[in-house]
Amino acid sequence: MEALLLGTGLLLGAYVLVYYNLVKAPPCGGIGNLRGRTAVVTGANSGIGKMTALELARRGARVVLACRSRERGEAAAFDLRQESGNNEVIFMALDLANLASVRAFATAFLSSEPRLDILIHNAGISSCGRTREAFNLLLRVNHIGPFLLTHLLLPCLKACAPSRVVVVASAAHCRGRLDFKRLDRPVVGWRQELRAYADTKLANVLFARELANQLEGTGITCYAAHPGPVNSELFLRHVPGWLRPLLRPLAWLVLRAPRGGAQTPLYCALQEGIEPLSGRYFANCHVEEVPPAARDDRAAHRLWEASKRLAGLGPGEDAEPDEDSQSEDSGAPSSLSTTHPEEPTVSQPYPSPQSSPDLSKMTHRIQAKVEPKTQLS
């Protein structure tokens, strides 16, 4: 009996040490009042994204939930309005697997929203599931879609500077390796999916690094944020049904809740004084060093150029969209181009302008409407 009690005590003590040193997330501080500022959070209908949006709404920001599912996005927006007491939480349709949808979202957002202060790329997938495409679906959703969306929203981000872009990455980037000759090859089988997921997380870290270099001096800062080990839908989404009842209790014990996973992305979005660390990788609310492959500036620039081609931006096009790129569904030819654009869906508690001017005119209108704000960080 004494041995059993001793063993139980040792296990409990070990768990407490693991929980407080590895599982429990440090709370995010940063700016407390975000009234008058607008944030976009992708994949915000559940998990880390929803908790991130909730905290931004509680601090008074206007929050746009950019989600693929209208039903789940509308429900999440309703929940967040109720829980935060902030009526300025809205849903807008965005499918990162569909480049036409990304462009439609950008057009709808720029035509209805005068500000963008915080852009958080939270949405992502870890597996293709049963979907079979002629391209790398994980790369498109986890990197190419966010890459294109960032480019299309840059005019608004620049007009509202200082502003921030946060890319939710992962420690899996340490296992990533980019093969530029096979970057867009379809992924088949769970082994390839594991490798492709790590590759896309490496792409996230390199994207934040190169974006910071490209935007130096503009007032936009960029960060890659690792949420830590999180018990979210991404963890169990592709686990066989018979295995989920066994994993759920284990996940509850050793993984962070989504609220804990949201702390580092929130830190990167709100913490004051981290502007000199633009382009860096953060975990547990502090900057961390990354392996050589994740700080290779030549690889980052090469990925940037390859991403422009795959996103349909064209090899000679600069970081800001123009009328020509916005008037077509996919710009330059690309294996990721889509031919069935979706109509943007917007849900909001208050009416907004319904006009859809072209991007160049919108850029001038945004710059004229935006008034100087106190510094974001």
Q: Which residues are catalytic?
A: 197
Residue 340, token pair as written in the block = 């069935």
CA 136 – CA 306 distance, rounded (Å):
14
Quickly count: other Cβ atoms within 10 Å of residue 28's Cβ.
18
Q: 33: which residues sit within 8 A by CB, 6+ positions away?
A: 59, 60
Instruction: Say which residue the tokens 């080990």 belong to.
Output: 229
DSSP strand pairing (286-288 vs 281-283): antiparallel
CA 250 – CA 8 distance, rounded (Å):
17
Instruction: Say which residue the tokens 């700080």 belong to.
Output: 295
Half-sphere exposure in the Cβ direction for 288 (13 Å, CA): 20
Paired strand residues for 163: 220
Quickly count: other Cβ atoms within 10 Å of residue 43's Cβ.
28
CA 185 – CA 106 distance, rounded (Å):
27
Q: Tell me, what DSSP letter sits at residue 230?
A: B
Which SS3 state, helix, strand or coil, does residue 145 take? Answer: helix
Q: How far is CA 353 from CA 106, 218, 237, in A?
A: 15, 28, 38
Residue 100, token pair as written in the block = 């036409």
Kindly report the length of the chain.
Answer: 377
